[in-house]
Amino acid sequence: MNSEIAKERISYVARPDSITSSDGDFLATHVAIKKLKVLDKFELAPTGGKSHTEEELFRDYISNPEDKHQFIAVYGQSGTGKSHLIRWFEARYEQNKPKDEVILFIRRSDNTLKGTIRQLLEKPEVQGIANKDVYERLVKAAISVEENKLKDMIYHNFIIEVNNDNDEQDLKITNVKRKRLVSLLNNEVMHDHLMSEKGPIERMYSKIAEHTLVDRDTIAQFQASDFVVSSELFEDLSSAGADPKAEKMARELMSDEGPEEAKKIADYLNQFVGEVIQRCAGIEPGDFKQIFLDIRKELYRLDKKLTLFIEDVTSFTGVDTALLDALIEEHTGKRDGENLCRISSIIGTTNNYLQNNFKDNHKDRITKYIYIPSDVLDESGLYEFVARYLNTMSLTEESISDWVINHANPEDYPIHDVIEGKKWEYVTINNGKRICLYPFTKRSIVYFYSNVLQNGHQTPRYIIRDIIEPVVRDAIFNKEHFPSIEIVNVNDNRILSTRIHTQISDEKEADRLLKFLSIWGDGTPNQYDKNNEVYISDIPRGVFDDFSLPILKLDIVVPPTEGKQPVVEQPVAPNTIVVEQSTDAVPAAKIKKVDDANKLLTKWTNEHIIDISATVGAAGTIHSAVYDEIPDYLYTAINWQAEGVTLDNAKKVKDSSLLFVALEGQTKKEGLYILPASWNSINIILAFIRWKEYGNKSWNYPDADFDAYLITTWTESIKKELVKKVREYKPGKEALYIEAAISAEIYRTILNGEFREKTLKNFNSQVLLASKPNKASTNSHCKEWNSLVSLMGQKGADQNNQQTVRGYFNIEQAGARSVVVLDAPLLSKVFGKIKRNKLVIPDEDKQLDDKVKLRKDAYAFLDDIVERIDSVAKAELELGRDKIQRIYDAFGDDEVGEEELAEFVDRAKKFFAEANQTQINVKECSFDGVKKLPQIEKAISDIASVLDETDPLTIIMAFSGDPVTVINPLIELIDNLENEVEKAKTQISSKLSLIGGDSAGGEDSGRYDAELKCILANKSKLEGMVNA
Amino acid sequence: MIFEELAKTTKDMQVLQKKMSIQRNRDAQEATDAKFRVLLSQADQFVAAIDYLYSNTCSETNTEIINSITDVLNTLESAIDSGLADSDTVVKAENIYKNTQNEMKKDWTKKYSELTGATVSTLEAIKGIATDKVDECVEKIKTASAWESSSQQLESMKEGLDEAEELILSLGLDEEIKTFLQNTTDGKATLKDLNDKVLKWIRDEGLENKIRISFAKVITKL
């Protein structure tokens, strides 16, 4: 490499598009292709058959030894070098062409329709053709139509074409379907869909409009996917009020047969693409063909013959049919009474375009097919390809020009003077010439080819763009940090990594060296002496000096025997990962993931700060390790119970935002144990990452034993400190959240009516741990009571707390997880303390600032209760007082026992019976709610017992059984009775007045007084008569 | 206090029920009451009449009648014993009263004759002497000829009798003539009583054609 020259030349030489480089550079970088196939009939991806060199093909076909009409198609996947080959054919033919041969080479650099025609008209050979001025006016008339208008023109021209289809096309659809299609295309939603950024109209627009950024692989056509109607699209269509015909077609395209139907529609419409594009570009369909015929006539007139090289026929979208028609027309016939010159056409195209866009009659008229396979370069070809580019960019333009001027003979091929990289590998090309591979090693070229190039990109274009250009630029412009470009390291050897990091303190340098040894070398922690040269990871020591790479000592091994080359010997196949531990089969993506994480961690050790809040990328990989893998591992690896920490506590810490282990300088989240920003920490974290990524959370991956060793020894080393921090809420203060949890749980059971006794005396551990949910769906507690219960249930706080209480004292038995053993002594101790303190935890003992949220939650939960319990008790007591007073008032006594209740019910029943007899209209009350008089008596007694009480716990316990609900039916009966009695009284009074009121009954006493007096007087008289 | 209210209202309803029952039977009761009162009024007049009779005339007290009318009064008393006049009892009293009245009427016919016969005969005898006055007396006496349970009737009768006695006395008749007239009125006069003085007075007064002779019939008093 001559970097001084290369710095200037790299931009000119390393161009992925062969057409854009100069002839000299093109020839100097050209590597003979040896695996070309020649076919008589089209095959999409031919296998087998004889391989030909480009030279053979040139000799047998391109040079047209028989001087006949021919039409040769060169095809292959995008980037395989079709353009390169066609250009080489053109250049080769230019040097040896007969005198009467005119060569037209159509590039695709100006990839629009008009651009293509312009290229044709610029050829000196056609300057004298007929109608030239007309054609020039045609192509110079700039399309001034604005973008949206032009796109709409394209779109509506398709509708016009479909509307006016007279079944003259090859592909036909029924009249009904055609009408539906027109309706669908006329629909606004469908219009917007097809006009979208990645839609077909945009693709076609790029072929018409000038000055657009053109993707050279774009084919201006409809695709089946354009017409697949998703349910969302259908809904939009439908809700926008689509025409029934449009809706029918949309429904058809949405059905199971949708994709098939969509393809039919796309194929059908594609028939009109050429015509539509031409019309929108302002060119009549016949124009293009006419231009070609005029060119041929002119050449015939000049007694010339035409050889046409077209780099890429896809650039002729819109006129491709016309062009092909012009090309296949043989000179033996006559056109318009004029003779045409002979034409030999060599056109480049992609597999798909050839398969789908060439009509069968065109395919039949193709004389030969030349197929370029994707893996056109074998291993030595690959080396030579890279070497020629390296050589060309190290040579001045003049030296290349001189060589070209002198017919570019291979034997005269210039080789640059090696300034940098004398000790690097060389590649031998024809005639024994050797080219220095600096800054590549063969191993690195293979590595890049196999691991950096994506599937389908292992073609010359991408070798230049993704390998040669970036690596050379890195080497010449960023020498002191070479290799600095991002490369997936699939050769990650931990032992080598350990060796490097133990010997090199500078993390960046260590990382650079690891990358170099892993990709440029064999990635092993080995070194050996051979021919008085030390080889480190199979790279000669001298090479290290060129990039000031640090030298380190590795494990000395026996040098490899002759014949066993450190590089792969097999031809490179796409997607083959070439790593030394080929049997280990760790996917490259995963290796890259670990490598990226390693880089970020290395940065961390330098900067002592790291942001791993993201969940994607390298930060995401480390995030996962720190947030998930490490806590998961430590939680399961440490025998917490044996260390005196309940599993509940350990789990709460694990599940909290507080990490078991955080990184030093971690921007978000705290940890109990801080992992220092050191190389050793990196190894630990990477071991966890590998455990997850390589082993899918197992130790089943290469060198896992080393990682397992690292992790287990590290765990032991931090265990004591970690356990202490888990056990304690603050240094020296044990986490006592269980006390708060139990207090709160007792409150909960009381408030929920699960424990209904008046004292805590019988609140034993069975009550605490058993689940006897109160099934009552309604209650008569005061608003404050229910608000508190509701508050306790928010976000499952009550259940979480209950779970804490139930799980805290469990002792898990190894291997018998279903058997729960209770830590009864601990339970008894804690429970006894809480009961003695009547559920009170002094403020100073509350651990409300516990960083472990799940532990703090217990205190917060208890606080929520305690803060409200006084007002709840007061409100409940007031409610109870009101209710019971109502009863007292009704009975006129504050001693209401079962006897009084029974009497009351009896009186009420008599009242209704009498009302019935007296025909007083009252509504008979139900006595169902007062059937269980002892319960009512107890409820009254419960409330009465705390009427003068001030202790909230005593009060809520008295009300735990919801006595108000029990007495409510009685109060309801009282209310109803009062109403009915009032009604009865009114009716009685009314009836009495109707029947004469008091007089009716008042006369009873003296009704016959006078009469009786009279009787008595007479009787007295009579007695007197008798006695007289 | 609903506990007490229930009991009180229940009682009120019971009263109301009774009153309603009364209300329902009021018309019938009033008829009964009316009947009761009429009957009592009749009984009262009856008692008043017999009281006058036994007190102011020489009529003998008829115990049976007294007992009978006492029975009526007792029955009427029991009819209102319940507070309301009992229809059946009133009817029963009415029947007793009717019987009593009938008995009384029978008894009266006899008693009237006894009380007024002699006087009326005498008055007939002396009618020619003082016609107007005799007629007036006879008229008053005859007021009570039929028993009407009326004190006024009896008072009128007594007044007639008294006036008749006074009239006879005022004629200055000899004692023997008065005896004769008396015996004649009583149907006890015999030919022996026709002494000279008497015959003379008959002839003088031209009463020959007005005196009839008949054979006396011996009546044995039971």
The verdict on a CB contact (< 8 Å) between B2 and A977 is yes
Chain B residues touching A895 at Cβ < 8 A: none
Is pLDDT of A143 > 70? no
Q: What ipTM, to 2 d.p.?
A: 0.81
Give kind and range of the element (H or E) at residue A707. Answer: helix A704-727
Rounded to a whole number, what is the distance in Å from the CA of A979 to chain B's nearest CA?
A: 10
**Angstroms from B70 CA to nearest CA on chain A:** 6
Gap from B201 CA to chain A (nearest CA, Å): 44
A348: β partners: A74
What is the DSSP annotation of A514-528? HHHHHHTS---SEEE
Range of weakest confidence among A107-111, A407-411, A870-874: A107-111
B182's tokens: 């008396």
> Scanning the structure block, which residue is given the tokens 């390291």?
A489
Residue A599: pLDDT over 90: no
Q: Do A1000 and B85 touch (CB under 8 A)?
A: no
Return all residues near A46 (Cβ < 8 A) that are at least 6 apart: A37, A39, A371
Residue A740: pLDDT band with limits 50, 70, 90:
very high
Is A404:A95 a contact under the CB 8 Å cutoff?
Answer: no
Mutation target vs B (from A901, A1019, A1022, A1026; most B CBs, 10 A cutoff): A1022
8 Å CB contact between A852 and A738: no
- Looking at mean pLDDT, say which of A235-249, A816-830, A888-902 comes out highest: A888-902
pLDDT of res. A1001: 46
Q: Residue A174's pLDDT is what?
A: 85
Nearest to B63 among A893, A1014, A1026 (CB): A1026
Q: Which fold has domain A32-141+284-372?
A: Rossmann fold (3.40.50)
Which tens digit of pLDDT belongs to each residue from B79-131? Answer: 888 777 888 899 999 999 999 999 888 888 888 888 888 788 778 777 777 77
**Least CB-CB distance to B15: which of A907, A977, A1001?**
A1001
pLDDT for the residue A874: 94
According to the 3-state scheme, what is the secondary structure of A353-416? Answer: HHHHHCCHHHHHHCCEEEEECCCCCCHHHHHHHHHHHHHHHCCCHHHHHHHHHCCCCHHHCCCC
Contact indicator for A594, A493 with CB cutoff of 8 Å: no
pLDDT in the model for residue A145: 58
pLDDT at A361 over 80: no
H-run or E-run covering A806: helix A797-808
Cβ-based neighbours of B5, under 8 Å, separated by 6 or more: A978, A981
The gap from C-alpha A895 to its chain's centroid, in whole angstroms, comes to 73
Best of A974, A1020, A1023, A1025 to disrupt the B interface by mutation (most B CBs within 10 Å)?
A1025
Most A CBs within 10 A among B11, B16, B149, hence the mutation to make, goes to: B16
Least CB-CB distance to A1015: which of B17, B51, B77?
Answer: B77
Is the pLDDT at A570 greater than 50? The verdict is: no
DSSP H helices in A892-995: 898-918, 933-945, 952-959, 963-994
The answer to which of A871-880, B36-45, B62-71, B118-127 has the lowest mean pLDDT is B118-127
Per-residue confidence band for A214, with pLDDT thresholds at 50, 70 and 90 = very low
Q: Is B2 on the interface with A (CB under 8 A)?
A: yes
Band of pLDDT at residue A861, cut at 50, 70 and 90: very high
Give A844→chain B minimum CA distance, Å: 53
Which of B33, B40, B47 faces A1021 most closely, judged by CB atoms?
A: B47
Task: Decide: A756 and A961 in contact? Cβ < 8 Å.
Answer: yes
User: What is the reported pLDDT for A661?
Assistant: 92
**Residue-level pLDDT at A879:** 93
CA angle A673, A675, A676 (to 5 degrees): 130
By C-alpha distance, the chain A residue nearest B12 is: A988
Residue B221 pLDDT class (50, 70, 90 cuts): very low
pLDDT at position A431? 79
- Assess contact for A307 and A64: CB atoms under 8 A: yes
- Nearest Cα residue to A349 out of A359, A358, A340: A358
Across the interface, do A1014 and B15 touch by the CB < 8 Å criterion?
Answer: no
Asked if A902 reaches chain B (Cβ–Cβ under 8 Å), the answer is: no
Per DSSP, the residues of A45-87 read S--SS--B-HHHHIIIIIT-TT---EEEEEEESTTSSHHHHHH
Identify which has the larger pLDDT, A951 or B212. A951
A1026 close contact with B: CB closer than 8 A = yes
In degrees, rounded to 5, the angle at the alpha carbon of residue A453 between the alpha carbons of residues A537 and A576 is 65
Which residues in A lie closer than 8 A to residue B4 (C-beta atoms)? 892
Q: Which residues of B touch A984 (CB under 8 A)?
A: 9, 13
Question: Rounded CA gap, A841 and A512, in Å?
Answer: 59
CA-based max dimension of chain B:
108
Burial bucket for residue A566 (CB in 10 Å: 0-12, 13-18, 19+) = middle
CB pairs under 8 A between A and B: 123
pLDDT score at A757: 87
Residue of B nearest to A1008 (CA): B80
CA–CA dist A452, A458 (Å, integer): 9
Largest CA-CA distance found in chain A, in angstroms, rounded: 195
Q: Which of residues 966-995 of A touch B (CB under 8 A)?
A: 974, 977-978, 981, 984-985, 988, 991-992, 995
Rounded CA-CA distance A216/A582 in Å is 38
Closest residue on chain A to B26 (Cα): A1000
Confidence of residue A718 (pLDDT cuts 50, 70, 90): very high
Q: Which element (helix H / strand E) includes A873?
A: helix A853-891
Which tokens sit at A149?
A: 């208008």
Average pLDDT over residues A482-502: 80
User: Per the structure block, which two tokens stand in for A244?
Assistant: 């029934």
State mean pLDDT over A224-246: 83
- A933 near A927, Cβ under 8 Å? no
For residue A395, what pLDDT is reported? 92
Closest to A1021 (Cβ–Cβ): which among B9, B19, B51?
Answer: B51
Chain B residue numbers touching A888 (CB-CB < 8 A):
none
Nearest residue in A to B44, CA atom: A1018
Which of A912, A1011, A1019, A1026 to mutate: most B Cβ within 10 Å? A1011
pLDDT tens column, B131-179: 788 888 888 888 888 888 888 988 998 888 888 888 877 777 777 887 8
User: Which alpha helices (DSSP H) does chain B contain, by range?
Assistant: 2-56, 63-79, 87-125, 131-142, 151-170, 175-186, 196-205
Range with the poorest average pLDDT among A122-131, A132-141, A275-284, B26-35: A132-141
- Beta bridge pairs of residue A816: A813
Is A13 exposed, middle or buried (CB count within 10 Å of its CB: 0-12, 13-18, 19+)? buried
DSSP string spanning A277-296?
HHHHHT--HHHHHHHHHHHH
Highest mean pLDDT among A297-306, A840-849, A991-1000: A840-849
What secondary structure, in 3-state letters, does A170-186 show? Answer: CCCCCHHHHHHHHHHHH
- Looking at the DSSP assignment, which residues form a beta bridge with residue A530? A533
- In this prediction, residue A803 carries a pLDDT of 87
Write the CA distances from B174 to A424, A1012, B162, B177, integer angstroms: 212, 56, 20, 5
Winning range, highest mean pLDDT, from A121-135, A277-291, A760-774: A760-774
For residue A153, count CB atoms less than 10 angstroms from its CB and return exposed for 0-12, middle for 13-18, buried for 19 or more: middle
Q: What is the mean pLDDT of residues A803-832?
A: 80
- List the 547-586 stretch of A: residues with Cβ below 8 A of B: none
The percentage of chain A sitting over the pLDDT mark of 70, rounded to a whole number, equals 89
Predicted pLDDT of residue A575 = 33
**For residue A580, pLDDT beyond 50:** no
**For residues A385-402, average pLDDT:** 90
Interface contact B171, partner A, CB < 8 A: no
Terminal-residue alpha carbon distance, chain B:
82
Please name the residue of chain B whose CA is at the shortest distance from the CA of residue A908.
B6
DSSP class of A536: E
Which one-letter DSSP state was computed for residue A780?
-
Residue A866, pLDDT above cutoff 90: yes
The answer to whether the Cβ–Cβ distance between A1028 and B63 falls below 8 Å is: no
Would you call A821 helix, strand, or coil by DSSP? strand
Q: What is the residue extent of each domain of chain A?
A: 1-17+377-582, 32-141+284-372, 147-281, 586-734, 736-981, 996-1028
Return mean pLDDT, chain A: 83
Structure tokens at A853: 């949220």
Q: Tell me which of A200-214, A687-701, A899-913 is least confident.
A: A200-214
- Phi/psi at A938 (5° precision): -70, -40
- To the nearest whole percent, how much of chain A has pLDDT over 90? 20
A918/B47 CB distance under 8 A = no
Q: What is the pLDDT of residue A1002?
A: 46
Radius of gyration of chain B (CA): 28
Q: CA–CA separation, A438 vs A472, rounded Å?
A: 9
pTM over 0.80: no
Work out the minimum CA distance from B17 to partner chain A, whole angstroms.
6
On the question of pLDDT at B59 being above 70, the answer is yes
Distance CA A962, CA A786 (A): 12
How far, in Å, CA of A751 to CA of A382, rounded?
Answer: 81
pLDDT on residue A567: 38
Residues A51, A55, A59: CA angle, nearest 5 degrees: 105
Q: Does A932 touch chain B (CB under 8 A)?
A: no
The two tokens of residue A998 are 């008091």
Going across the sheet that includes A343-350, the strands are A37-39, A368-372, A70-76, A343-350, A305-310, A101-106
pLDDT at A941 over 70: yes
The DSSP string of A596-634 is HHHHHHHHHHHHS-B----SSHHHHHHHHIIIIIHHHHH
Residue numbers in B near A1015 (CB within 8 A): 40, 73, 76-77
For A53-78, write each residue's pLDDT tens digit.
888 888 888 888 888 889 898 988 77
Residue A579 has a pLDDT of: 28
Closest CA to A577 of A450, A457, A488, A462: A450
Q: Give the C-alpha separation, A964 to A936, whole Å.
A: 9
Q: Lowest-confidence range among A329-338, A454-463, A772-781, B97-106? A: A329-338
Q: Give the orientation angle of helix A853-891 with respect to helix A797-808, to 10 degrees.
A: 110
Query: Do B1 and A890 make contact, defined as CB atoms within 8 angstroms?
Result: yes
Contact A971/A883 with Cβ under 8 angstroms?
yes
User: 10 Å Cβ neighbour count for A867?
Assistant: 11
A532 by Cβ neighbours in 10 Å (0-12 / 13-18 / 19+) ranks as exposed
pLDDT on residue A47: 78
The yes-or-no verdict on residue A636 having pLDDT over 50 is yes
- Which is more confidently placed, A337 or A667? A667
A911 near B CB under 8 A: yes
Retrieve residue A588's tokens: 């490259």
- Tell me the pLDDT band of A169, cut-offs 50, 70 and 90: confident
Average pLDDT over residues A960-984: 91
CB within 8 Å: A1011 and B6: no
pLDDT in tens, B173-196: 777 887 887 777 677 788 888 888
CA distance to A162, A207, A230, A269, per residue, from A227 (Å)? 15, 21, 9, 11
Question: B14 and A920: CB-CB below 8 Å?
Answer: no
Give me the phi and psi of A810, to 5 degrees please.
-75, 140
Give the CB-side neighbour count of residue A383, counting CA atoms within 13 A: 22
The alpha-carbon gap from B117 to the nearest alpha carbon of chain A, in Å, equals 25
